Amino acid sequence: MRKIIYLIILLFLFFNTSNGVASNPDIFKITTDNSELTGFFAQGKSGIITALHGVIGRHAINASDDNSSQSYKNLKIEEVDTLHDLAFLSSNELKKRKGGLKISMEIPKKEEKIYSIGYPLGLSYQLRSDQLRVRIPPLTQLLTLLPTKLTPRMATRNSPDISKKVISIEGGLLPGHSGAPVLNQNNEVIGVANGGLKSGTVGICWAIPYNEINWAPKVSREQELSNLETLEVSALFSFSVFKASSGALLEWQEPRAGNMMTWEEANDYVADKNSGGLMGYHDWRLPAVGELNDLAKFIKNSPDSYSDTDKLYWSSEDLGPYSVQAKVVNLGNAQMAWECFDTGQQTATCQKNNRFSVRLVRNLIQ
């Protein structure tokens, strides 16, 4: 049975991002005493729009751009849309600011190409995701996108309301890119990024349609906001992504039951998945020993997030061009095969014709 991994890491990232683009002055990194996310300044609003779940109950809400040439301190939540999980931040200084991103009130078309810009994973610079498109149908109830096991948790929180229609997007949102603008090819905001998960071989994420936002003064929603402060937000995201000890941001393929093969078959499996475009990408690979060791450490520190520890996993490392041996890593509780030459409790050298588990990995930022 395939296991869904629930990870809350710093901030979420759209896959196949491209940096090196000019920073957009209307998009901000939002920081609080205990969270980091994205927000943006929109035309017609004298403040910053962001995700409510990232700022509710937080102190010292600040906004800044890439080089801190713009910095706004001690922002206050002035308006909210609790059913869409949105907050509007402002200050006396922000109210004097001009400009903002253009807005489109049109419903996006099916399979329309869209993009987003934000500050994922605690990064200090903006990253742009171009590899996103609107799914069919473009608008759907959030309920229809959620796995059954997540529905009760989301329904209890009710922010966002799972009966509300959201923009259904093919791609990937990770925890923390919340509040980022989702834009069409005319560079107009059509929605606000909210959450994402994996479903089979594709990433499904959603954005709040801009034309559905219904702002209300914060003071009129104090009881709702008080209740939200006590409820978790982890159900918004389901991805296996974290930062390796090398500093690389890695996405891991979800563990799959029965994914047992020889080392040569594992390399053929990599080629097959890249040819078919797993998750829409063609840069999957077998992980290095160090990357698997990092995964094992993460599992050890987060046992409730991951339970697939009873297997040995192939690494990309063999002992040379003509070697019949390669290295495997024990993610926690696996029994070492007797054929393996144990080089430690976690890493071993085994014959390539043995059958072990395979889990692919890719770099989120090249």
Report the mean per-residue pLDDT for the chain: 82
Q: What is the CA radius of gyration of the chain?
A: 22
pLDDT for residue 221 is more than 80: yes
Alpha carbon distance, N-terminus to C-terminus of the chain: 32
What is the rounded (10 degree) CA torsion for 228, 231, 234, 235?
-80
pLDDT for residue 321 is more than 80: yes
pLDDT of residue 35: 85
pLDDT of residue 232: 62
Of 266 and 197, the structure prediction assigns the larger pLDDT to 266
Q: Per-residue confidence at 124, pLDDT binned at 50, 70, 90? A: confident
Which range is most confident: 204-208, 238-242, 276-280?
A: 204-208
Token pair of 157, please?
A: 């929180």
Q: What is the pLDDT of residues 292-311, one digit of tens each?
A: 988 887 776 655 445 555 67
Token pair of 289, please?
A: 């020993």
pLDDT of residue 293: 87
**Which residue is listed with tokens 């914060």?**
218
Which of 58-67, 94-103, 201-210, 262-271 is least confident? 201-210
- Mind listing the domains of the chain with CATH numbers? 17-238 (2.40.10.120), 254-363 (3.10.100)
Q: Could you give the CA distance from residue 356 to residue 261 in angstroms, rounded to a whole number? A: 6
Token pair of 118, please?
A: 């934000």
**Contact by Cβ (8 Å): 182, 192:** yes
pLDDT of residue 119: 87
Cβ of 243: how many Cβ atoms within 10 Å? 16
pLDDT of residue 121: 72
Which of 86-100, 212-226, 309-323 is least confident? 309-323
**Contact by Cβ (8 Å): 180, 27:** yes
pLDDT for residue 3 is more than 70: no
Token pair of 330, please?
A: 């024990």
Any idea what DSSP says for residue 320?
A: S
pLDDT for residue 339 is more than 70: no
Token pair of 177, please?
A: 């890119």
Q: What is the pLDDT of residues 7-53, one digit of tens each?
A: 333 333 333 444 445 789 999 999 998 888 999 999 999 999 999 99
pLDDT of residue 2: 36
pLDDT for residue 77 is more than 80: yes
pLDDT of residue 14: 36
**Contact by Cβ (8 Å): 115, 186:** no
pLDDT of residue 256: 67
pLDDT for residue 355 is more than 80: yes
pLDDT for residue 218 is more than 60: yes
pLDDT of residue 234: 56
Token pair of 285, please?
A: 């690979």
Token pair of 98, please?
A: 């001009």
**Which residue is listed with tokens 């829409």?**
280
Q: Which residues contact 157 (CB under 8 A, 6 or more apart)?
A: 228, 231, 232, 233, 235
Which range is most confident: 121-130, 187-196, 250-259?
A: 187-196
Q: Could you give the CA distance from residue 233 to residue 156 in angstroms, rounded to a whole number? A: 11
Q: Per-residue confidence at 237, pLDDT binned at 50, 70, 90? A: low
Q: What is the pLDDT of residues 181-201, one digit of tens each?
A: 999 999 999 999 998 765 544
Residue whose C-alpha is closest to residue 209's, from 169, 154, 150, 155 = 169
Which of 43-52, 62-71, 206-215, 225-234 is least confident? 225-234
